[in-house]
């Protein structure tokens, strides 16, 4: 990522978006470790209960994923994002408040996870559609590389910070960091000056019709269809793995909470590497080729993760995790920039929502399956099954139209 050159470094509004979301991403990464640690270590949840907690975070994508795209296309996106930051800040703050006056329960974790997930659906759809408002189309690939790269750095630092906070204070109080990060995100979004035009009233067709327009655009386009189906397959299996990852490290590998946070953070280094190499690799071999080839070369290494043990065999968790995340980031940087440049702005929110409805709607199913598998056959065996199933997503990319292309189209496609 270039940090001191180019127009983006002089784009005040992009810098506010970048800084605010970077801090918010760190807070989210803290919760990524702290919330399941509260369930596993302090509330003694079993595998299925941990899987259900993860599923509830993603369930809102199935419930409101499609109408969220209509709301985003009919609203000023920044205002939606501001409202979602307030909701998430308050919900997460409720956990340390309740811990201070009583005790946190699994039911409260479930309710907060669902509420934060609900607000995150709306925020993420708006966030994916918002950068073209403040960034020129020619700068979108670099902007997305910076935003995704910063998110990757946050995934590296956040879990370790979460593990450290759990060691220093009781786990529920570690969530103050994530609540505060949403307050900072709200503040930086508030300081953006670029005027966002009000959506035209002519777009106000019935919600069902508006949803169908975005869905038809995705279903009717072979590239967008591939970019929906293949990662949805991955999200079923990798979502199941992610749901029981902390459970695996605590109960199968027998790591302390602080060590879990540090190890998860170290494993996220692959995202940073992936964000750094995504654009150079894509320029070298082509954007379409980079998407399927990176997945084919990295995903199979996930089969080594179940070999993880304490000591030097922790490398079986870290190194394959790096490779998988490098492939994921190369894919994500390309698909995000492609979608923003390729889709008509008037339906971009609905296209994002339609794709994410399928992509993230697959995660709760995977999370519940992962939790059930962990309860039935143990976390280690469950992870082997899930990461073997994840290879099907790579097969879907290899057999897709991407295999016959070097680069993705750079020109927008008409909605008709």
Give 223-275 pLDDT, tens digit per residue. Answer: 889 999 999 999 999 989 989 999 999 999 999 887 887 888 787 778 778 87
Task: Tell me if residue 254 falls in helix, strand or coil.
Answer: coil
**H or E element at residue 122:** helix 106-129
User: Which burial class, exposed, middle or buried, applies to 158 when counting CB atoms under 10 A from its CB (0-12, 13-18, 19+)?
Assistant: buried
| CA angle (112, 121, 264) in 5-degree steps | 65
User: What is the rounded distance in angstroms from the CA atom of residue 69 to the CA atom of residue 46?
Assistant: 35
104 alpha-carbon distance from chain centroid: 26
Eight-class DSSP state of 262:
H
Contact by Cβ (8 Å): 182, 22: no
Check residue 1 and give its pLDDT.
34
- CB hemisphere CA count around 83 (13 angstroms): 12
Check residue 202 and give its pLDDT.
47
User: What is the rounded distance in angstroms from the CA atom of residue 118 to the CA atom of residue 58?
Assistant: 8
**Which runs of E-coded beta strand occur in 27-87?**
none
Check residue 2 and give its pLDDT.
37
Q: Residues in the chain with pLDDT < 50?
A: 1-5, 202-203
Contact by Cβ (8 Å): 160, 266: yes
Contact by Cβ (8 Å): 257, 41: yes
Contact by Cβ (8 Å): 109, 53: yes
CA-to-CA dists, residue 76 to 200, 285, 297, angstroms = 11, 38, 41
User: What is the rounded distance in angstroms from the CA atom of residue 124 to the CA atom of residue 22?
Assistant: 14
- Residue 284 token pair: 């070298």
User: b/e per residue, 213-235, with b = 16+ CB within 10 A?
Assistant: bbbebbeebebbbbbbbbbbbbb
Q: How many CB atoms lie within 10 A of CB 308?
A: 22
Best CATH choice for the domain 7-192+206-404 from the list 3.10.105.10, 3.40.250.10, 1.20.1250.20, 2.30.30.60? 1.20.1250.20
Eight-class DSSP state of 403:
G
Give the residue among 146, 231, 278, 216 at the shortest CA–CA distance from 413. Answer: 216
Which three-class secondary structure string do you get for 142-186? Answer: HHHHHHHHHHHHHHHHHHHHHHHHHHHCCHHHHCHHHHHHHHHHH
Question: What predicted TM-score, i.e. pTM, was given to this entire model?
Answer: 0.77
295 alpha-carbon distance from chain centroid: 17
Task: Locate the domains of the chain by residue range.
Answer: 7-192+206-404
User: What is the rounded distance in angstroms from the CA atom of residue 66 to the CA atom of residue 122?
Assistant: 10
Tokens 């060590």 correspond to what residue? 259
User: What is the rounded distance in angstroms from the CA atom of residue 333 to the CA atom of residue 236?
Assistant: 21
| CA angle (225, 226, 227) in 5-degree steps | 90
User: What is the rounded distance in angstroms from the CA atom of residue 150 to the CA atom of residue 158?
Assistant: 12
Eight-class DSSP state of 268:
T
Tokens 């003694």 correspond to what residue? 44
């Amino acid at each position: 990522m270039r940090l001191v050159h180019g127009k983006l470094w002089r784009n005040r509004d992009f810098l506010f978006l970048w800084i605010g979301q970077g801090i918010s991403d760190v807070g989210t990464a803290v919760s990524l470790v702290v919330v399941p640690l509260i369930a596993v270590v302090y509330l003694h949840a079993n595998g299925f209960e941990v899987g259900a907690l993860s599923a509830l975070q993603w369930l809102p994508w199935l419930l409101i994923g499609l109408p969220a795209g209509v709301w985003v296309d009919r609203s000023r996106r920044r205002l939606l994002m501001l409202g979602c930051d307030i909701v998430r800040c308050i919900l997460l703050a409720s956990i340390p408040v309740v811990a201070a006056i009583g005790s946190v329960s699994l039911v409260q974790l479930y309710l907060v996870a669902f509420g934060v997930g609900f607000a995150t659906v709306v925020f993420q759809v708006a966030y994916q559609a918002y950068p073209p408002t403040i960034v020129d189309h020619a700068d979108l690939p670099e902007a997305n590389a910076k935003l995704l790269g910063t998110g990757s750095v946050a995934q590296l630092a956040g879990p370790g910070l979460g593990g450290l906070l759990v060691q220093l204070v009781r786990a529920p109080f570690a969530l103050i960091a994530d609540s505060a990060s949403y307050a900072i995100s709200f503040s930086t979004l508030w300081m953006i000056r670029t005027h966002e035009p009000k959506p035209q009233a002519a777009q106000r067709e019935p919600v069902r019709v508006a949803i169908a327009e975005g869905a038809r655009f995705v279903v009717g386009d072979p590239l967008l269809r591939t970019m929906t189906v293949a990662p949805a397959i991955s999200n079923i299996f990798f979502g199941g793995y992610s749901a029981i990852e902390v459970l695996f490290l605590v109960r199968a590998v027998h790591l302390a909470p602080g060590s879990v946070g540090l190890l998860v953070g170290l494993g996220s280094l692959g995202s940073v590497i992936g964000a750094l190499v995504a654009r150079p690799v894509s320029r070298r071999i082509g954007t379409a080729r980079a998407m399927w080839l990176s997945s084919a070369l990295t995903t199979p290494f996930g089969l080594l993760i179940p070999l993880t043990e304490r000591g030097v065999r922790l490398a079986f968790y870290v190194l394959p995790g790096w490779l998988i995340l490098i492939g994921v980031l190369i894919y994500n940087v390309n698909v995000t920039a492609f979608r923003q440049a390729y889709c008509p702005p008037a339906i971009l929110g609905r296209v994002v929502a339609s794709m994410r409805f399928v992509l993230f709607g697959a995660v709760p199913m995977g999370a519940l399956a992962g939790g059930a598998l962990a309860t039935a056959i143990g976390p280690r065996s469950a992870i082997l099954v899930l990461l073997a199933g994840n290879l099907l997503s790579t097969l879907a990319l290899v057999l897709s139209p991407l295999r016959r292309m070097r680069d993705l189209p750079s020109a927008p496609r008409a909605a008709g």
